[in-house]
Amino acid sequence: MTAAMAENMRPVEQACYWLAGRRREADPPLVGRREADIAIIGAGLTGLWTAIFLKRLDPKQEIVVLEQGTAAYGASGRNAGMLGEGIDHSHELALVHFGRREAERLAGLGVENVRDLLRFLEERRIDCDLERTGQLHVALLPSQVGELRGSAEIARRLGLDHFRFLDAEETRAELNCARYQAALLNPNSCILDPVKLVEGLKREAGRAGAVFHERTRVTAIEKTGGGVRVRTAHLPGAVEAPAARMEATGVAAGRLQAAAARLKAAAARAQGAVAPGAAGELVARRLILATNAYTHQIFPRLLSRFIPLYDYILVSEPLTAEQMSRIGWRRRQGVTDTRTFFKYYRLTADNRILWGTSEAAYYPGNRVDAACDHSERHYAELRDSFRRHFPALGDLEFPYAWGGPICSTTRFTPFFGSAEGGRILYGLGYTGHGLGNTHLAGQILAHMALLRPSPLLDLALVRKKPFPYPPEPLRGLAVRAVTRALRRVDAGGRPGLLLRCLDAMGIGLSS
């Protein structure tokens, strides 16, 4: 293993640029029994927005949020911080998935949603290094230029006329990359620091009266007469996979571990600290699962509707003024390209380049745990693609590299629902677009939990479930086959039979 590889295998709290160096005291874990009106599992953006909207709708509700790590441990603290208006993956796909009228509605709603979200941040003075830079969607091949013009036309037909087409010269004047053939600029998109956003929202939810228990993993959910009971365990250290921990524990090893845990617990009690594994129990009228890509670990029955995948990102050292002048980027727009497996990139507030890939990894068995947080294969490919885009910065180092779990659905939009007679509610599956969509999901879940009417509840994506994924072992095989086929299309090939069939079923990405 090279020094760079070892460096890239650090725990995510050090490897992720947004999380590194931000040491915050965790809120106390849940120990013993407590009650609440509504329990939320997960202190990512879904859980936080839901808590905020629940308190706004009914300040008297007692809301308790349980988080296995600290807030922002999941995707919400590890993302690229590129906030866009898109609710579906694209306006084209919104038409395919939901039809003309609903696509128009989603297009308008996406604009409104970002406007409302930004107003909230401004009113509450949440400082998350927000920059209203706009976003460039760039074509890398001459054949993709027509696609961009087509996208602008579709957006216009859906009622959005703020997109601006830039030719090759205009695009390169914004960011000097010889590969750019054209771009579509959405001036409304923004970039921000996602961990600062999470921290700001957590503060707001706390101010409104929501209570947080961090380092508290929910280990079981049980139905009671009038609601649900969740059982928890205190996780003082790194968050590991529950399944992996169970597998590693044979009977003899289990006894040894139990003895060690008892000793640790006694030592912790002597010091007045909460013992690792200390149990808690929360009884609530309703439970909201805000666990996105982790949901199957506590509620396996939803697994047919989503697939957990890992996205990976690099962040460079800060660029000098001279390096900045080589590439331009004065208006600091976020950038994505038109390929299915696109790259996304942006500047941070201190002028580092964040460089990410949407070619997400699937880990067999729907694995989501710290062992998936790094992928040297993805990092090597990211470094290579960066150099191909910006050879003038070929010697730039990337001291931060990490991955995070996203939750994908076959239609690339989230889904919502309830179980156990309305006791359990869920909203998940943002497919890598959760920064804006969680603000909508929080409103949807809050209205569902309090049985309040809202026009959002009759959105097709709330009423209808996405087409299911196959179970393992077919799931892994299907992901590999589709990935190979999409790579061929990205390299300039035509969609083969598999992709054409998926498109015909309304679950393809190449339409």
Residues binding ligand FAD (CB under 6 A): 41-47, 66-69, 73-76, 78-82, 217-218, 290-294, 297-298, 311, 313, 356, 404, 406, 430, 432-436, 438
Helices 100-123 and 91-98 pack at an angle, to 10 degrees, of 130
Name the residue nearer to ligand FAD (CB basis): 210 or 485: 210
**8-state DSSP, 303:** G
Q: In the chain, what is the straight-line distance between the N-terminal and C-terminal CA atoms, in Å?
A: 41
Minimum CB distance to ligand FAD, residue 247 (Å): 17
State the residue for tokens 């309304």.
Answer: 506
Find where tokens 């889904």 sit.
415
Residue 168 beta carbon to ligand FAD: minimum distance, rounded to whole angstroms: 25
Smallest gap from residue 440 Cβ to ligand FAD (A)? 12
Can you tell me the distance from the alpha carbon of 489 to that of 182, in angstroms, rounded to the nearest whole number?
19
Q: How far is the CB of 215 from ligand FAD (least distance, A)?
A: 9
**323 versus 373: smaller Cβ distance to ligand FAD:** 373
Tokens encoding 351? 């002028």
Separation of alpha carbons 444 and 424, rounded Å: 14
Query: In the complex, what is the shortest distance from the CB of residue 322 to ligand FAD, in angstroms, rounded to a whole number?
Result: 28
Cβ closer to ligand FAD: 70 or 323?
70
Distances (CA, A) of 198 to 126, 203, 346, 350, 383: 10, 9, 19, 20, 28
How far apart CA 274 and CA 280 sit, in angstroms, is 11
Under a CB-based contact definition with an 8 Å cutoff, are residues 338 and 375 in contact? no
Nearer to ligand FAD, 51 or 290 (CB): 290
Residue nearest to ligand FAD (CB): 434
Amino acid, single-letter form, for residue 120: F
Shortest separation between residue 424's beta carbon and ligand FAD, angstroms: 14
**Helix, strand or coil for residue 406?**
strand
Q: How far is the CB of 120 from ligand FAD (least distance, A)?
A: 16
Question: Closer CB to ligand FAD, residue 313 or residue 319?
Answer: 313
Say how far apart CA 378 and CA 402 lie, in whole Å.
10
Structure tokens that stand for 504 in this block: 């015909």
**Around 149, how many Cα atoms within 13 Å sit in the side-chain half-sphere?**
8
Q: Say if CB 333 and CB 341 are below 8 A apart.
A: no
Residue placing its CB nearer to ligand FAD in the complex, 146 or 365: 365
Nearest distance, CB of residue 503 and ligand FAD, angstroms: 24
Nearer to ligand FAD, 26 or 168 (CB): 26
Contact (CB, 8 A) for 313 and 402: yes
> Which residue number, 65 or 175, has a Cβ lying nearer to ligand FAD?
65
97 token code pair: 């998935």
